[in-house]
Each structure stands twice: as structure tokens, then as C-alpha cells.
Amino acid sequence: MPDPATLTQTMAEMLTQSRQAAYTMATLTTAQKNEALLAFAALLETHRSDLRSANDQDLKAQEGQLSPALFQRLKLSDAKINTLIQGLKDVAGLPDPVGRVTLQTKLDEGLVLSKVAVPIGVIGIVFESRPDVVPQILSLILKSGNAVVFKGGREAHHSNAAFMRVVDALNARCPFLPKAWGQLIDSRQAFQALLDFHDKVDLVIPRGSNQLVQQVMAATKIPVLGHADGICHLYVHASADAASPETMALIMDSKCQYPAACNALETLLVDAAVAQTLLPLLKAAADESGVTLKGCSKTQAVIDGIEPAQEADWHTEYGDLTMSVKVVDDLAAAIAHINTYGSHHTDCIVARDEQAMEQFMAQVDSASVFANASTRFADGFRYGFGAEIGISTAKTHARGPVGMDGLVIYKYQLHGHGHLVADYSGDTPKPFLHQPL
């Protein structure tokens, strides 16, 4: 283990290289970036056996150590490699997020202002044991013209190293790529050192457990794109058809379609007006799907023998087939509960009353607010972004499912012909035209 001063020094040098690489990446053409993405795809095929055997080393080292779910995530099967190859081709097919002119104004004759999308610069990314995240992240970084320093899971050490051999081959094949555009670091301490460089890193993206994200958010002044909790709600309004199978299907899809996902339902809010109808049906559906219910006192009064929900339950992302249930007096109470206990991620109302839907969607302060659709739709691919960097619950920069747009910012370009501000100031100022182009 290097001492902290050495670690800081090494990281400073990496980040200086990363900045220089970012300047070059920002000037690549769309054609160059797509050429590199397709070469990357071809090289994954060439390196398939190297990747598989490196991954086998990781799998052997973890045998019996990881849960079956994590072990599966660590595994780099041929099918997963095929998916990665297709993914790289897909990213090549996406529109280039860089260079778009989003505003153009003629300030005066011969004085034109343009707002142009540009890469953010140097991104720090940390994620956990899935090695297939490496090429996914690199493809989005490449297409958006950024540079990245990233840390993968320790368990995927050999797999990640094999992916970096692919990157070396890619850099050799595409000499327009600056060598330091994608740098891998291996230790938690090194990433900790990165988090201190808020003058050298423009954005940090943690992808992984709630705990990882919270640790990163607490440890840095660099802007963070991500979300810690995913405490999502579904509220069955008084106007909903509480007896219909569609209502129950929305609840069960939100909860059960993939319970570990951040956009899965945790707390069901039931309007008092429909509680007597809905709750017995809920109990039956929950039993059928293996969902464990925890209820408030009013819920318990209708469903016999279920576990009581404590105050802590309203704050809890179960991530499994557990659901907390609360009976609320009305729409306002539902909104207040969600804004108080939720994580501002994804929340849904089931209703037939249009006005209630609109009030819910206006007043619930969450990145995604739904009416009559499963919370599980909150996802960059389902939203049609073609890629997902992550899901953010921040209130600045990027919110909700974030596509490649989250990896760009803009600069203003002003083309003049010797224009002076003095002419537009003083006692007889020239007026501006401010004419949209």
C-alpha cells in the first residue's frame, strides 16, 4: 500500500493526464468516435478468449465467497460478451451529443452568439463487481468526448485488467485516441484520493449500492450524479378502480418485476376511500406473488395478522419482496408522505380523476412522476435515451434517468467583427438586436 502522500501525488499526475486527454477527446469528430466504437466491438471479439480466461480467474477466486446473485453478476459469459459487442455498435449508432447548437442569437449585425454542447471533461466513476460495466462506461465516455478515471470491483480484478488490454489494443488501432482517455485504478484508497481533487475532476458517478453512493456523496465536493435511495411509492387514489385487476397489476409489476431495482415499489399508499376494497385484494395478490406486507394500524384493521410497519419502514428501501402499506386520508396526505419520506426518485398515482393526477404530478417533488404506469418504467432505455449513465436524484444538472446528455455541458461562442462594449454603453448606447436565429 503506497503512503497517502504518494497516492495523492500519483492521482494528481493521472488527473493531469486525464485533463490533457479530455482536451483531445473534445475535438474528435463523430466519425472518429464511431470508428473507435466499432473497432472496440471488433476487439472484444478478438479478445474473447482472453476475457473469458481472465474472468475464470476471478470466478475461481470468489467461488463460495459471493452470494449466487453477485457471482452471476461477476460472470462474463459468451452471451454477455455478445451483448457488450452489440452495445458498442448501438452506441456508435446514437446521435453525437457533442456539437449540437442549442441556441443561436444575433446580438447585432455581425455579432452572433451560439450555445454549443461540449463534453464535461474529466469524469470519475466507481462501480461494484460487474466487469461488463467497463466497456459500457467506456463506450459512453468515448462517444461523449470525455476522459474517465474509474475504479471497478476488486472481485473483477482480472476481468477488468483484460478489458484494459482491449483498450490498449484500441488505442494502438486508433492513434487519434489520447492514451489516457480511460484510466483504471484498482484501490479504494486511490479513488478516495480522486474524490479530494475537486479542482481536477468535473463530475463523479457512483454506480452501486446505496452505501457506496452515500459514501461518495459524503466524501467529496465534486458534483455527484447518482442516487442513494430508491424509495418509490404508488398511491391508489379515491378515483381509482380499486377492484380492477389493472390496478392490482400496476402494484405488483412495480413491486415484483425486479424487486432489487431502484425504481421498484417500496411503499403503497391507499386512499381511505378505497382501502376496504383494495386491501383484501392486495393481501390475496401478495400471497400469490410471495410479497410480505407491513402495514400501518389502519391497514392492519383490514388485513388480519400482518406485521406492523414502524416509522423506520417508511424510510426503507427493502430491495426485496417486502412492501409497506399505509392508508392515507386524501391526495394531499399522500403527496405530503411522499415528499417527506421518499427519495425523490419515482412515484406513481393510480387514478381516473384527471385533476388529481395533475396535482400529484405537479406537487410530488420527484425526478419521475407517473400516472397509471408501473414505476419500473423509470429507466434510460425505456425512456428512449438509447443509453443510461445512471439515475440521478440531484436537483441540478441532470435528474432522473440520465442518458449521454448528462455527460455534456455547453460553451458560448461569440463571433464578432471588432465589436466593442463601449458602443453599447454610456449615454447613447447602441441597442442590441437579440434576434433568434
Q: What are phi and psi of 325, to 5 degrees?
A: -130, 130
Among 8, 62, 210, 363, binds its own copies (CB under 8 A): 363
- 156 interacts with its own copies by CB under 8 A: no
- 374 interacts with its own copies by CB under 8 A: yes
Are the beta carbons of 254 and 264 closer than 8 angstroms?
A: yes
User: How many of the chain's residues bind its own copies (CB under 8 A)?
Assistant: 70
Query: At its nearest, how many Å lie between its own copies and the CB of residue 420?
Result: 4
Contact partners, residue 184, CB within 8 Å, separation at least 6: 134, 149, 150, 151, 152, 160, 161, 164
| Closest to its own copies by CB, 64 or 418 | 418
Q: How far apart are CA 411 and CA 97, in angstroms?
A: 13
Among 26, 236, 331, 389, binds its own copies (CB under 8 A): 26
| Closest to its own copies by CB, 66 or 321 | 321
Report 39-68 residues binding its own copies (CB under 8 A).
none
- 221 interacts with its own copies by CB under 8 A: yes
Element (H, E) at 185: strand 182-185
Q: Residue 325's beta-bridge partner residues? A: 268, 295
In the three-class reduction of DSSP (H, G, I as helix; E, B as strand; rest coil), residue 380 is classed as coil
How many angstroms separate the Cα of 192 from the Cα of each of 92, 128, 201, 219, 370? 33, 15, 12, 8, 37
Q: How far apart are CA 151 and CA 189, in angstroms?
A: 10
- 105 interacts with its own copies by CB under 8 A: yes
How many angstroms separate the Cα of 366 from the Cα of each of 8, 263, 348, 369? 38, 12, 10, 6
| Closest to its own copies by CB, 59 or 351 | 351
Give the binding range for its own copies (CB under 8 A) out of 66-74, 125-133, 291-299, 373-381.
373-381
Per-residue contact flags (x/-) with its own copies for residues 246 to 275, judged by CB under 8 A = xx-xx--x---xx-----------------
Q: Provide the 8-state DSSP code for 63.
A: T
Give the binding range for its own copies (CB under 8 A) out of 2-10, 181-189, 268-276, 415-423.
415-423
Query: At its nearest, how many Å lie between its own copies and the CB of residue 383?
Result: 6
- 329 interacts with its own copies by CB under 8 A: no
| Closest to its own copies by CB, 121 or 131 | 121
- 366 interacts with its own copies by CB under 8 A: yes
How many angstroms separate the Cα of 26 from the Cα of each of 38, 147, 387? 19, 9, 20
Query: At its nearest, how many Å lie between its own copies and the CB of residue 127?
Result: 20
- 434 interacts with its own copies by CB under 8 A: yes
Query: At its nearest, how many Å lie between its own copies and the CB of residue 184?
Result: 23
Helices 48-62, 157-173: crossing angle, 10 deg rounding: 160
| Closest to its own copies by CB, 13 or 307 | 13
Cell of 62: 470468489
DSSP structure string for 289-322: HTPEEEE-HHHHHHSTTPEEPPGGGGG----SSE
Q: How far apart are CA 154 and CA 128, in angstroms?
A: 8
Q: How far apart are CA 27 and CA 114, in angstroms?
A: 17
Q: Residue 349's beta-bridge partner residues? A: 235, 371
| Closest to its own copies by CB, 75 or 376 | 376
| Closest to its own copies by CB, 253 or 266 | 253
Are the beta carbons of 160 and 76 closer than 8 angstroms?
A: no
- 8 interacts with its own copies by CB under 8 A: no
Among 67, 420, 427, 428, binds its own copies (CB under 8 A): 420
Query: At its nearest, how many Å lie between its own copies and the CB of residue 390?
Result: 14
How many angstroms separate the Cα of 314 from the Cα of each of 24, 45, 237, 276, 284? 48, 47, 19, 22, 23
Give the binding range for its own copies (CB under 8 A) out of 29-37, 156-164, 177-185, 403-411.
403-411
Per-residue contact flags (x/-) with its own copies for residues 335 to 354, judged by CB under 8 A = ----x---------------
- 192 interacts with its own copies by CB under 8 A: no
Among 168, 280, 413, 430, binds its own copies (CB under 8 A): 413
- 418 interacts with its own copies by CB under 8 A: yes
Q: How far apart are CA 256 and CA 181, in angstroms?
A: 40
- 395 interacts with its own copies by CB under 8 A: yes
Query: At its nearest, how many Å lie between its own copies and the CB of residue 217?
Result: 8
Which residues contact its own copies by CB under 8 A?
23, 26-27, 105, 107, 111, 113, 120-121, 202-203, 217-218, 220-221, 223, 246-247, 249-250, 253, 257-258, 339, 357, 361-363, 365-374, 376-378, 382-384, 394-401, 409-422, 424-425, 432, 434
